[in-house]
Every structure is written in structure tokens, then in C-alpha cells.
Amino acid sequence: MDLFRSNELLGIAGETLDFILRASEDTHPNEYMGFLRATDGAHLDLDRDGQVITDVLVIPGTESSPTSATVQEFMRPNNVQSVGSVHSHPSGVLRPSNADLGTFGQGDVHIIVGAPYGWTDWQAFDNDGSPVELDVIDVELPDDEFFEATREALGEDVPATADLDGRDTAREEPDERERGGGFLSWLLR
């Protein structure tokens, strides 16, 4: 984290806007909601000071219907450094409702995306609900290494043929715990 980064919001990454549009369309006819996080422009090889919206944080347990999306505040991480919010209006209306304005307090920009969720079907607003310009910036997003496990991250003593448990995976026959397979089977080890 940069202690002295500029708070100026330069815009939103094109890939991030594309993600928002697709997520809103996938959630239709219900509303989609998330919180916006930004990356310092210097980390994106920009020659200007400021931040670019690069991430959307979706809170587990968010309840969604065709007319609203509600975040379960107790599920929101304490360290969320949000620059604003995003939600969809399945009706296609690109202006905030009174309920929307009540949620616009945290962050500097709030995006409403409307059906049919094309590149022109969105609008950014300030905390008071006034429209603001938000540039779409073509930047390469940093790789998200949060879920990537490398030998270096796990330690040099992990053999190249080991799985994340450190067990040697070069054996011919899997043991009984490995035969079950499936997404959750690794939790049961």
C-alpha cells in the first residue's frame, strides 16, 4: 500500500467495466451490487498521479431482487478500502433512487449499470447523486496472485511433484483420500 498515493480518481479500467457489465447481465433480472477498489496509477504504468478502479468486491450474502440489492454489513471485511460502489438497475434507468442515495456515503464514485448492459448503459455519480464523468482507461490489470501458490511461496523444501499438502504426487496409485476427487475433496484431507 502506498502511504502517499494521490486520491484523484482517473477512471475505471476497461476490463473492470467489462466485468461489471457481464456480471450485471448474468444477475438480471435481479440487481447486481459490489464495492469498487482502485489501484495506484504508478502500478499500472500510467504517467499520471491518481487511482484507477480495477477491482469489484462482491460481499457474500448480498441479497438481490429485481428492485434492490442489500449487503449484509456484518459480512463486509473490516479492511475494505472502497472508492465507491456499483449496482445495476434491471429496469435500465440510469439515475439513483432515494434508496440509492442513502447508500452513496462511502467512497467518491458510484456506478449504476442499466439493462441491456452495453458499453453505454452506465453512469457514474458522486455522493450527492450528481452525474460525474468517469473515463474508461485501457490498462493492463495486475495479475491477481492471491490464490496462486508457487514453490517459492510455499518454500524451497516442497518437492516439484508435491501437491499443496506437500505430498508427493508422482506415485502411480492415489491413496484412498485422493480417489474421491471433486472440488470439496481437498477440504476433507
Neighbours of 156 (CB within 10 A): 6
Task: Please provide the DSSP assignment of 44-87 as one string.
Answer: GT-SSSSEEEEEEEPPTT-EE-SS-EE--GGGS-TT---SEEEE
Q: Which three-class secondary structure state does DSSP give residue 189?
A: coil
Radius of gyration over every alpha carbon of the chain, rounded to an integer in angstroms: 21
The β-bridge relationship of strands 69-70 and 33-40 is unpaired
25 is catalytic: no
Residue 9: all three cell numbers together = 480518481
Of the residues 31, 140, 156, 173, only one is catalytic, namely 31
Look-up: residue for cell 452525474? 131
What gap in Å lies between CA 77 and CA 86, rounded to an integer? 17
| Sequence-separated (6 or more) residues with CB below 8 Å from residue 159 | 166, 168
Catalytic residue IDs: 31
